[in-house]
Amino acid sequence: MLRCVERMSEPSEVVTAPAASSAFGAAPSINPPPPSDEPWRFRLKFSGQGGEYFRIWIVNLLLTVLTLGIYYPWARLRRMRYFYANTWVEGGSRTAPTERHALDYLAKPKQMVGATVIVSLAFLAYSIGSRFSPILAMFLGLAVAALTPWVQRAGLRFRLANTSWRGLRFGFSGTLAEVYRVYWPIAIPTLLFAAAVLLSSAGDTMSMGDDGGSMAEGSDGATGDAGDGDGASGNASPASRRAWWSSLSLAGGLMLASIVSGYLVLPWLWLRFARYRQTHYRFGSLHSGFVLTNRDVLRLVMRLIGVSLLAALVVFTLAGLGAWLLADSTSVIQAMPRKGPGKPLSPHWGIFMLLMLVGLGIAFRLVVLPYLWVQQQNVVWSATRSPHVMFRSRVSFGRMVRVDLVNWLLTIVTLGLYRPFAEVAMARLRIDAVSGAFRRDPAGVIGAERDRVSAVGDVGADLFDLGGAF
């Protein structure tokens, strides 16, 4: 099996498009030959156009606003369908001629109307309820968090079950138990946080005994000022005071550990969810697989940190240079507002700090973030392989930066009207970069039993912004 993957791993032999179209000019009644056992290489091609999608988008927008959201299911279907129906899979093997078939998104509006109503009501209850009571807001937030894995799985199931290629629907076979198991590492920072809160509130009650008249301080005792500490522990014995302090510092430590472990757990969670998602795609009897390891993710994180540091270094140099140049021109110094009676900071430093902050923000948004997108797609899809099928993704970082920069600038300049053009440009960049191979001609695939799936997850993932990626 390993040899087969080796053999499949160079998908660049795909017959080019002109050859494909001439093949289709042939006599109509000759069917393609029976599926061969040769590896079947393919690549994806996106054929959408910004101007065309803009017209769909603006009409969707108008009708959705006009109907106070009732048109939303139809709008969403039209949008999804435009992108799916313009995603072509071109492929062939040594013995099978090149074929070219697009994906399609075949959900019915009727399926989505009920789901939209349910999710909208939940959304309304959430946003109204969380306005008046912090406790209610907390519980609603917890409920949303608890439901997130369910929504993610239901969304994937719905989307795949309604995605068709070559007359067959895809499927998603991940179970509910599995998706909840994906998220167990969250328990670590959560338990640490809960322990910290419990400890600090225990410390509070220990010392606050009779202080009912004054306003209760929040649970931020660890960072509270000295006056606060004195007032709170004024009539307590030295021993209980010591206990109070040690429990508070322990709580602070736990809180810190909770935050740190939260960050540490994030890449791991990302990998676990990516693995869950990428191993459960089905096409008939074929299924996908995922070979990304912890070490690969560690390397990805390291690369990301490296790029961030590099970007920071460049910004640092440029800011230094800029501050030095700007500070030389006296007009800028005079324009600098002098704040307060104290000695103002040297203008060099002020300009430098300002340039640094602006530069870091821009570098993060326009360099680091696109790098993360590129890496995520390339790493995840290039690691998606099973005995049946393998993928390769090669999004170019340079082109991503360029496309993203243009998208970002023009979307701002046009007050959002460029948005649909931006979406199409991004889809083309991302989709055209994907190629792959089936172990053998997919024409031999027999469809599986079709699932009945609800659209609630799909709409929920969209409205609550709980899409598959973090």
Partner 1 sequence: MTGVPVAVDADYFDGRSARSRRVRLDARGGRLVLTGDGFSREVALSDVRWEEVSRAGNRHAELPDGATLQSQDAAGWDRLRQAAGVRDDMAVRASRSWRATLIATVALVVVASGTWIYGVPAAANAVVKLVPASVEQKIGDEAIGSMVGEMLAPSRLPRETRDRITDAFREAVAKSYPQGGAPAWRLDFYRSRIGPNAFALPGGRMVMTDELVELAQGAGKDGDAMLVGVLSHELGHVRGRHGMRGAAQAGFASLVAGLVFGDVSSLVAAAPALLLQQGYSRDFEREADRESVRMLKAAGYSPAVMADFFERMQRRDTEAASRARQRNGQEATAAKEAQAADGAQAKGDAKGDAKGAEAARRDDAASPIARRLQIALSSHPADAERIRFFREAATRP
Q: Residue 312 is encoded by which pair of tokens? A: 């920071």
Q: Does residue 321 interact with partner 1 by CB under 8 A?
A: no
Site for partner 1 in 27-56 (CB under 8 A): 28-32, 35, 47-49, 52, 54-56
Nearer to partner 1, 165 or 270 (CB): 165
Q: What are phi and psi of 17, to 5 degrees?
A: -60, -45
Q: Does residue 152 interact with partner 1 by CB under 8 A?
A: no
Q: Does residue 113 interact with partner 1 by CB under 8 A?
A: no
Distances (CA, A) of 270 to 252, 264, 276, 349: 27, 11, 10, 40
Identify which of 265, 257, 256 has the alpha carbon closest to the alpha carbon of residue 183: 265
Site for partner 1 in 410-429 (CB under 8 A): 416-417, 419, 423
Measured torsion, CA atoms of residues 302, 305, 311, 312, in degrees rounded to the nearest 10: -140
| Side chain identity, residue 266 | L
Cα(82)–Cα(52) distance, integer angstroms: 10
Contact 92, 19 (CB under 8 A): no
- Among 15, 36, 117, 120, which residue sits at the site for partner 1 (rule: CB under 8 A)? 120
Q: How far is the CB of 438 from partner 1 (least distance, A)?
A: 10
- Among 164, 173, 240, 308, which residue sits at the site for partner 1 (rule: CB under 8 A)? 164
Distances (CA, A) of 356 to 174, 295, 315: 46, 33, 6
Cα(26)–Cα(400) distance, integer angstroms: 39
Q: How far is the CB of 239 from partner 1 (least distance, A)?
A: 28
Stretch in the footprint of partner 1 (CB under 8 A) among 152-160, 188-196, 248-256, 351-359:
351-359
Q: Does residue 134 interact with partner 1 by CB under 8 A?
A: yes
Question: Could you tell me how many residues of this chain bind partner 1 (CB under 8 A)?
Answer: 95
Cα(60)–Cα(72) distance, integer angstroms: 8
Nearer to partner 1, 169 or 272 (CB): 169
Q: Is 171 helix (H, G, I), strand (E, B) or coil?
A: strand
Q: How far is the CB of 218 from partner 1 (least distance, A)?
A: 7
- Among 144, 444, 451, 454, which residue sits at the site for partner 1 (rule: CB under 8 A)? 444
- Among 38, 113, 165, 402, which residue sits at the site for partner 1 (rule: CB under 8 A)? 165
Site for partner 1 in 376-405 (CB under 8 A): none
Site for partner 1 in 197-226 (CB under 8 A): 213-216, 218
Residues 6+ apart with CB under 8 A from 303: 375
Q: Is 170 helix (H, G, I), strand (E, B) or coil?
A: strand
Site for partner 1 in 92-111 (CB under 8 A): 99-104, 106
Contact 444, 46 (CB under 8 A): no
Nearer to partner 1, 167 or 238 (CB): 167
Site for partner 1 in 284-303 (CB under 8 A): 284
Q: Does residue 346 interact with partner 1 by CB under 8 A?
A: no
| Conformational region of residue 169, where left means phi above 0, alpha means psi within -120 to 50, and beta covers everything else | beta
Q: Does residue 143 interact with partner 1 by CB under 8 A?
A: no
